[in-house]
Structure 1
Amino acid sequence: MATWPEGVARHVLASVDSTMNEAARLAPGLSGSAWIFAHEQTAARGRRGRAWRAPQGNFAATLVMRPKGGLAHAALYSFVAALALEAALSHAAGPHARLAIKWPNDVLLSGGKIAGILLESLTPDGSQLAIGIGVNLAEVPARDTLEATAMAPVSLLGETGMRVAPQDFLPMLAQAFDHYDSQFRDYGFEAIRNAWLARAARLGETITARTGRETHTGVFETIDATGALVLRDGQGRRAISAAEIFF
């Protein structure tokens, strides 16, 4: 059983509209970091305000924290969270699980999406950050709740046969996040970047990045010091800060 990180609060709820909404409500009264976990969400949301539904037995939680360094620094916590998720899932699934991290903020198991991350700044200067995390521990979402172009979802139980209760996964994730947060604070983003690249899905392969207006296809070379995806195509190297990625 993972130990709980020192100095981090924990709020466990039977039901809530959304752990992200609860994070926003609690944040003004928090002096430090806090995990908000719910067994049920009635109005959860994903990226760009999309409705998000978690079947029973899956994991949903939000971490509220106070990063230092402004909005650009806070945005790099997407990579910290992805590393923590990959580590917690590796602990839960065992050493033979085929895990990878898909830029910018999904975790893959056996090539399918098992987890996603949502970052929202709760203040204009990025001094309070909410990191929402959803993991398919037991079931996959119904296909009709997903976008047509969405990556096929998988679950931990379906792919590995491992059954992990959401409340047991929480300390695994909290401990892993505390570890990588310490790495980030002590050694900077370069340490996080190197660890992330070692786990990156399709690094060195041809992928497609779609922004709101453009589509770019090229070789995924790296991520830069800002976390931007670097593609190499016939026109040279291109840094992309925000996009949907397709394999």
Structure 2
Amino acid sequence: MSADAWPKDVARHILDTVDSTNAHAFRLAPQSAGPCWILAGEQTAGRGRRARAWDSPRGNFHGTLLLHPTEPASQVALRSFAAALALRDAFVALTGLPQAFALKWPNDVLLNGGKVAGILLESSGAGQGVQHLAIGIGVNLIAAPDPALMESGAVPPVTLLAETGLRVTPETFLDALAPAYARWEATFTTEGFAPLRTAWLTHAARLGETIRARTGTETREGTFETIDDTGALILRQSHGPVAIPAAEVFF
């Protein structure tokens, strides 16, 4: 299916090799007036959440959207949900397989139950403010990490190619992702988080099921009830619901 037109007033930088697209975004930030997508053929120092190394072979998608937000930091972070929804929209537009994709809290996209994409938000600013936001996105288009290297209980990685037979170039994926994100960004800035929360919950993986949420050294088990208006996970345990703002989730 053809992608929508490239969003108006959004710049685009295509690089062959870079250390990290997020790091490059912050280097561009001082002279960047508006939103900007950065796509790299490969990353030499890609990273995921908690500063973990992110495997970045050629043929996969390594991209970052640079934004200059005006909201308080707590609101800025909610764009991880906009990114997840945009990723799902892009996947569905390219594959025509809406039932195959689900969203895993806090920031992964699943394909047939396996992790196909991840999101990493990083920001820079002064004091409590956020001047620049980098939304880093990695997608396993044709290659995935060795499952044997994943920690016990983690969702196994999958690739778009192996699961669907569809070979998509990173540039083609960006052409679908950028307009999808622009739509959710417009919704977020005009209507707030509520419509994103509703849409995200519609596609949430394991909603209503028992999951484990690990924060540091503590692991809590309970029923994944919802997310609240701050994006926190609401886990129902025997003594009642618990709000968890950040955690690693295991199924």
> TM-score band, normalised by the shorter chain?
over 0.9
Is 1:141 the equivalent of 2:148? no
Partner in structure 2 of residue 60 of structure 1:
62
Once the two structures are TM-superposed, the CA of residue 145 in structure 1 deviates from its matched residue by 4.8
How far did 1:148 drift? Answer: 4.1
> Does residue 195 of the first structure (1) align with residue 183 of the second (2)?
no
Q: What runs of 5+ residues in structure 1 fail to find an aligned partner?
A: none
Q: Is the aligned partner of 1:163 residue 2:167?
A: yes
Q: How does 1:217-236 map to 2 (within 5 A)?
A: 217-236=221-240
What is aligned with 2:18?
A: 16
2:75 pairs with 70, 73, 76, which one?
73
1:47 pairs with 2:49: yes
Question: Which SS does the other structure have where 1:92 is aligned?
Answer: helix
Residue type of the alignment partner of 2:112:
S
Q: Distance in 1 between matches of 2:23 and 2:182?
A: 23
Aligned to 1:243: 247
Report the Cα offset of residue 28 of structure 1: 1.1
What is the TM-score with the length of structure 1 in the denominator? 0.97
Give, in whole Å, the separation in 2 of the partners of 1:212 and 1:167: 37
The one-letter code matched in structure 2 to 1:93 is T
Of the structure 1 ranges 44-53 and 112-121, higher mean CA displacement relative to structure 2 is found in 44-53
Number of aligned residues = 247
Structure-1 separation of matches of 2:154 and 2:219: 16
Indicate the residue corresponding to 1:98 in structure 2: 100
1:68 partner letter: T
Secondary structure of the structure 2 residue equivalent to 1:23: helix
Shift of 1:70: 1.5
How far is the alpha carbon of 1:188 from its aligned partner?
0.9
Displacement of 1:142 in angstroms is 2.7
**By how many angstroms is 1:223 displaced?**
0.4
TM-score (norm 2): 0.95
Q: For the residues of structure 2 that align with 1:8 and 1:26, how far apart are their CA atoms?
A: 14
Instruction: Give the aligned partner of residue 36 of structure 2.
Output: 34
C-alpha displacement at 1:144, in angstroms?
Answer: 5.3
Question: Which is further off, 147-156 or 18-27?
Answer: 147-156
Check 1:128–1:77 CA distance in 2 against 1; reply closer, same or farther (3 A cut).
same
Is the deviation greater in 96-105 or in 220-229?
Answer: 96-105
Q: CA deviation at 1:97?
A: 4.9
What secondary structure does 1:69 align onto? coil
Compared CA separation, residues 229 and 18, structure 1 to 2 (3 A): same
Question: What is residue 112 of structure 2 aligned with on the other side?
Answer: 110
Distance between the aligned counterparts of 1:207 and 1:97, measured in 2? 21
- CA deviation string 1:114-136 (max 9, x = no partner): 00000001224123100000001
User: Deviation string for 1:132-153 (max 9, x for gaps)?
Assistant: 0000111212335543443200
- What do residues 187-215 of structure 1 show as CA deviations (whole Å, max 9, x unaligned)? 11001100000010001111110101311
Runs of 4+ in 1 over 4 A off after TM superposition: none
Identity score, percent:
55
Secondary structure in 1 matching 2:17? coil
3-state DSSP of counterpart to 1:139? coil
